[in-house]
């Protein structure tokens, strides 16, 4: 099995102070979208934290291209090509959209360390153009010089996705990117993401908007109480009685179904 998928999560166990949050979780992701769904508190964000190196699991392995990455640091996982967003966006409110997006480039491996360090105008200008282009793709081209704190939560989430893409990752983890977005914002977000997925980027997406998940993901995994209770194509999985039951137990999702 090893080496056949870009991301292989095997037997992950996590507990916080004796409370089991993840139990023997397995998951694979390859290029294109993979959905991760489940009711509130199921452990989705925790699983993202394990994959991205923020939480060390009690047991289990995370393989990226066959290389074990669990238990290293979030920094080294990021540097090995994993980008992520957070459930509540973590941007620098006092900085402009463009500068926030630039941070995605700033964290890449640097080609000309000295020129980059002193912020040589030529290089800086070229990279700014790249960041602007990315923001324009997401429909934010008119707001490049606005400070992020003046944006709606929805736009902030989109900026965070753009920033993560600018890192040029192999694997992108999106934690509820569409939560709190207007219908038009969801479209502005989904279209460019789909292009990246088609071009071969692996995107693992946690999302409560099941319509969006059904549309984007050929494959979903359902978590409940820290266990994988189902996986497969979204249309089949969401028909399964145990999945429906899990969701019925969760009011926010039951109303959205």
Ligand X SMILES: Nc1ncnc2c1ncn2[C@@H]1O[C@H](COP(=O)(O)OP(=O)(O)OP(=O)(O)O)[C@@H](O)[C@H]1O
Q: Which residues lie near other proteins (CB under 8 A)?
A: 52-54, 73-75, 78-79, 83-84, 86, 90-95, 99, 102-104, 106-109, 116-119, 124, 136, 139-146, 150, 163, 167, 184, 187-188
Between residue 32 and residue 91, which ones bind ligand X under the rule CB under 6 A?
Answer: 38, 40-46, 87
Nearer to ligand X, 140 or 222 (CB): 222
Q: Residue 91 touches which of ligand X, other proteins, Mg ion, none (CB < 5 to 8 A by kind)? A: other proteins
Q: How far is the CB of 121 from other proteins (least distance, A)?
A: 9
Q: How far apart are CA 169 and CA 84, in angstroms?
A: 9
Q: Are 230 and 240 in contact (CB under 8 A)?
A: yes
Q: How far is the CB of 111 from ligand X (least distance, A)?
A: 37
Quick one: tokens of 30? 């390859």
Q: How far is the CB of 17 from Mg ion (least distance, A)?
A: 19
Q: Residue 21 touches which of ligand X, other proteins, Mg ion, none (CB < 5 to 8 A by kind)? A: ligand X
What residue spans of the chain are helical by DSSP H? 44-51, 74-79, 97-106, 113-117, 121-137, 153-166, 183-198, 210-216, 234-237, 241-248, 251-256
Please give the residue ranges that form the binding site for Mg ion (CB under 5 A): 45, 87
Q: How far apart are CA 68 and CA 61, in angstroms?
A: 7
Give me Rg for the CA atoms of the chain.
18
Cα dihedral angle (248, 250, 251, 255), rounded to 10 degrees? Answer: -50
Q: Angle, nearest 10°, between helix axes 153-166 and 183-198?
A: 10
- Output the CA torsion sign for 106, 110, 115, 117: positive
Q: How far is the CB of 55 from ligand X (least distance, A)?
A: 7
Residue from 6, 9, 12, 21 binding ligand X (CB under 6 A): 21
Binding status of residue 27 toward ligand X by CB under 6 A = no
Q: How far is the CB of 23 from other proteins (least distance, A)?
A: 25
Nearer to ligand X, 14 or 148 (CB): 14
Q: How far is the CB of 51 from ligand X (least distance, A)?
A: 12
Q: How far apart are CA 49 and CA 56, in angstroms?
A: 8
Binding stretches for ligand X (CB under 6 A): 16, 21, 38, 40-46, 87
């Amino acid at each position: 099995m090893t080496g056949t998928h870009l991301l292989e999560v095997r037997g992950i166990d996590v507990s916080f102070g004796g409370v089991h949050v993840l139990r023997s979780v397995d998951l694979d992701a390859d290029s294109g979208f993979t959905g991760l769904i489940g009711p509130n508190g199921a452990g989705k964000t925790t699983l993202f934290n394990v994959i991205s190196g923020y939480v060390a699991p009690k047991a289990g392995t995370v393989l990226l291209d066959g290389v074990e990455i669990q238990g290293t640091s979030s920094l080294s996982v990021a540097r090995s090509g994993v980008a992520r967003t957070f459930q509540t966006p973590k941007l620098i409110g006092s900085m402009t959209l463009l500068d926030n997006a630039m941070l995605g480039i700033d964290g890449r491996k640097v080609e000309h360390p000295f020129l980059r360090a002193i912020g040589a105008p030529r290089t800086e200008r070229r990279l700014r153009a790249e960041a602007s282009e990315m923001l324009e793709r997401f429909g934010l081209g008119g707001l490049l010089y606005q400070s992020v704190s003046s944006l709606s939560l929805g736009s902030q989430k989109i900026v965070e996705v753009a920033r993560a893409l600018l890192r040029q990752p192999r694997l992108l983890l999106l934690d509820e990117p569409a939560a709190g977005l207007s219908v038009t914002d969801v479209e502005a977000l989904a279209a460019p993401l789909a292009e990246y997925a088609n071009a071969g980027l692996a995107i693992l997406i946690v999302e409560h908007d099941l319509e969006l998940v059904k549309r984007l993901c050929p494959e979903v995994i359902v978590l409940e109480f820290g266990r994988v209770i189902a996986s497969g194509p979204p249309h089949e999985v969401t028909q399964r009685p145990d999945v429906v039951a899990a969701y019925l137990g969760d009011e926010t999702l039951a109303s959205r179904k």
